[in-house]
Amino acid sequence: MKILPLAAGVAIACASLAWAADEPIQPIVPPSRINAGMAELGKKLFFDPRLSKSGFISCNSCHNLSMGGSDNLPTSIGDNWHEGPINAPTVLNASMNLAQFWDGRAKDLQAQAGGPIANPGEMASSHTLAVAVVESIPGYRSEFKSVFGKDQVGIEEVTAAIAEFEKTLVTPNSRFDQWLLGKKDALSGEELAGYKLFKESGCVTCHNGPAVGGNSFQKLGVVEPFHTKNAAVGRSAVTGKDADRMHFKVPTLRNVELTYPYFHDGSAHTLKDAVDTMARVQLGKKLSEADNGRIVAFLKTLTGEQPSFKLPQLPPSVEATPQPQPFARKS
Amino acid sequence: MKILPLAAGVAIACASLAWAADEPIQPIVPPSRINAGMAELGKKLFFDPRLSKSGFISCNSCHNLSMGGSDNLPTSIGDNWHEGPINAPTVLNASMNLAQFWDGRAKDLQAQAGGPIANPGEMASSHTLAVAVVESIPGYRSEFKSVFGKDQVGIEEVTAAIAEFEKTLVTPNSRFDQWLLGKKDALSGEELAGYKLFKESGCVTCHNGPAVGGNSFQKLGVVEPFHTKNAAVGRSAVTGKDADRMHFKVPTLRNVELTYPYFHDGSAHTLKDAVDTMARVQLGKKLSEADNGRIVAFLKTLTGEQPSFKLPQLPPSVEATPQPQPFARKS
């Protein structure tokens, strides 16, 4: 149901692409090749808390599709109320990221999807257990068979389906994209002034492309150090290179109005704070209140159409399904 | 959007009501008078974790509308991973209950909705804080104004909207209801035999009416004591009468295939176990495996059409919104 409108969006985007090519930000082009059956299966899995040890936490718990694909918390709550180490990045438009997680340790959405399931501080299951749960449920078994054409389910199929669903989670048709595509009155004078400032101040050096970010790793704290109590070291945890310390994936600014709080430590609660800090530590600039307001006004034009679909119904467990262990650690 | 098909269902149900009146179970008649705007607002609130102190737990966390309106856990997980004292009853068809909660301490859905929000072991907020959060959010403020016609939001309006949404959560058109309404081939021979046994064995004494339960308080353990480690004393906690000890609201059996595990302590993981225990402690009967299977087959025909609606999009918080306190107790 979701796929056809997206395809129509592609056609519109392509027709006007020549115009948009003059700008450092491009309109969102929805994916044209989605396996609809696989995405529907992935949607169920995305909402299914049985992929967690407790039976309580689903992908949607921290990447809540009612709230910009995020949890709107500084860092996330995991199994047994574990305090997560880092801010949950939005899943919206995540297919456009050059890699997944703040430090880019997963090469794509499928590789990412397996992480939280087996992370003891997040969903706290294991790939073996999650697959055993899914395989035990007749409703899932038949759907996997129909999508993948084989009887055995493995973690590869589970994560492939989740990733396929996540590829549909794009947010086209923001007011900014309408403007990019030629609708000159889509933005107000203040919003346009904010976009001009966004380009001239240097924000656009890192926040560019269709996702307005997500396409490079950059050092956090170029001009001034970024002060944080958060222990994450960023990209160096992956590369082992000291030079990559405090380098993080530049987050997308698409739907940034919805994905508060900001930064990997969730320390900025408002766009105003986030813009102020970025200007200072990345660009060595002190923005006036009016200029800050203009940039924030521009950023709010990046809110696109949110994913629109029916709440999925999950196939029920049966006697053979491994039971959730919500309180195992406390007993 | 949801309201019109339900209204059509009423007409069908009424036309055949004379036929169904011969049976102790009646088809589900969807509510005819729903305030659509209020229900839409209530749907957002039902899915909004900002009604909890942590910003993580919503009504839907424990009454998950992807999973039969329940959490499929023996007892629920609350704020700071608190182990809940009792099994979360399904919200589906809850409008048909004579009162809410296992002990009936809330007279209706609106009175119920305020409970978990302020319960320290559930959502752990307060009515004052929840209202302050809602009032701070421009998207909510305008919607409350449009629905209730006044500027001030109070807990009465919040719970009225949630209750109005919950009234829409009925599940008509189960195979059993189709049979009640005259479609003779809607049930198999085994399912019909199960229904006959359900009536003749005495189950129907308590599980009757449109919700197949929900309309009386009954003693749990009539013939034999019901052994449990759960501390709940049932109805006597409300009435103060010792005679009401271990009297609980009879749960609805609608969608019982989806609302495992069973009983107020969540101790029965399968319908087979639940039927076996009920026959023994309530009726003094030992069912044969075949008869147990027939009753279970009948019970599975009570699964109706699940609520079908688009995942709601929540209006974003702003600078003035009180921030969630997910880890306040640990810091």
| pLDDT value at A115 more than 70 | yes
Confidence of residue A19 (pLDDT cuts 50, 70, 90): low
Mean pLDDT of chain B: 94
Catalytic member of A40, A122, A135, A143? A122
- The nearest CA of chain A is from the CA of B231 a distance in Å of 17
Chain B residues lying within 8 Å of A309, measured CB to CB: 310-311
Span A64-103, pLDDT tens digits: 999 999 999 999 999 999 999 999 999 999 999 999 999 9
Of chain B, the percentage scoring pLDDT greater than 90 comes to: 91
The pLDDT score that the predictor gives to residue B22 is 87
Sign of the dihedral defined by the CA atoms of residues B214, B219, B225, B230, in that order: positive
Span B245-256, pLDDT tens digits: 999 999 999 999
| pLDDT value at A16 more than 80 | no
Which DSSP string corresponds to B211-230? TTS-S-EEES-SSS----S-
Chain A residues lying within 8 Å of B5, measured CB to CB: none
Q: Do A77 and B71 count as a contact with CB atoms less than 8 A apart?
A: no
Q: Do A72 and B311 count as a contact with CB atoms less than 8 A apart?
A: no
Confidence of residue B7 (pLDDT cuts 50, 70, 90): very low
> Are A284 and A194 in contact, with CB atoms under 8 Å apart?
no
**How many angstroms separate the CA atoms of B43 and B164, rounded?**
9
Helix (H, G, I), strand (E, B) or coil at A181: coil
| pLDDT value at B10 more than 50 | no
Query: Region A24-53: what's the mean pLDDT?
Result: 96
| pLDDT value at B11 more than 60 | no
Chain A residues lying within 8 Å of B319, measured CB to CB: 269-270, 272
Q: Compute the count of residue pairs across chains A and B with CB atoms less than 8 Å apart.
A: 102
Confidence of residue A22 (pLDDT cuts 50, 70, 90): confident
The pLDDT score that the predictor gives to residue A89 is 98
- The nearest CA of chain A is from the CA of B97 a distance in Å of 24
Confidence of residue B3 (pLDDT cuts 50, 70, 90): very low
Mutation for testing the A interface, residue in B50, B81, B136 having most A CBs under 10 Å: B81
Chain A residues lying within 8 Å of B66, measured CB to CB: 47-48, 311-314
DSSP code of residue B120: T
The pLDDT score that the predictor gives to residue B19 is 53
Span B209-223, pLDDT tens digits: 999 999 999 999 999
The torsion region of residue B271 among left (phi > 0), alpha (psi -120 to 50) and beta comes to: alpha
- The nearest CA of chain B is from the CA of A137 a distance in Å of 12
Determine the distance from the C-alpha atom of residue A158 to the mean position of all C-alpha atoms in its chain, rounded to a whole number.
19
* Listed range (A21-25, A121-125, A317-321) with the worst mean pLDDT: A21-25
Complex ipTM, two decimals?
A: 0.93
Span A227-245, pLDDT tens digits: 999 999 999 999 999 999 9
| pLDDT value at B16 more than 90 | no
**What residues does B217 pair with on adjacent strands?**
B249
**What residues does A19 pair with on adjacent strands?**
none
B74-112 burial, b at 16+ Cβ within 10 Å, e below that, comes to bbbbbbbbbebbbbbbbbbbbbbbebbbbbbbbebbbeb
Active-site residue flag, A191: no
Specify the pTM: 0.94
Chain A residues lying within 8 Å of B77, measured CB to CB: 54, 56, 326
Q: Do B71 and A54 count as a contact with CB atoms less than 8 A apart?
A: no
The pLDDT score that the predictor gives to residue B122 is 98
- The nearest CA of chain A is from the CA of B100 a distance in Å of 23
The pLDDT score that the predictor gives to residue A1 is 36
| pLDDT value at A5 more than 60 | no
> Are A193 and A187 in contact, with CB atoms under 8 Å apart?
no
| E-state strands within chain A | 77-78, 82-83, 217-219, 247-249
| pLDDT value at B68 more than 50 | yes
| pLDDT value at B300 more than 80 | yes
- Count, in order, helices (H) and strands (E) of chain B: 13, 2
| pLDDT value at A20 more than 70 | no
- With an 8 Å Cβ cutoff, the interface of chain B facing chain A consists of 47-50, 54-56, 61, 64-68, 71-74, 77, 80-81, 83, 257-258, 260, 269-270, 272, 306-314, 316-317, 319, 323-324, 326-327, 330
Query: Region B82-86: what's the mean pLDDT?
Result: 97
| pLDDT value at A329 more than 90 | no
Mean pLDDT of chain A: 94
Q: Do B257 and A317 count as a contact with CB atoms less than 8 A apart?
A: no
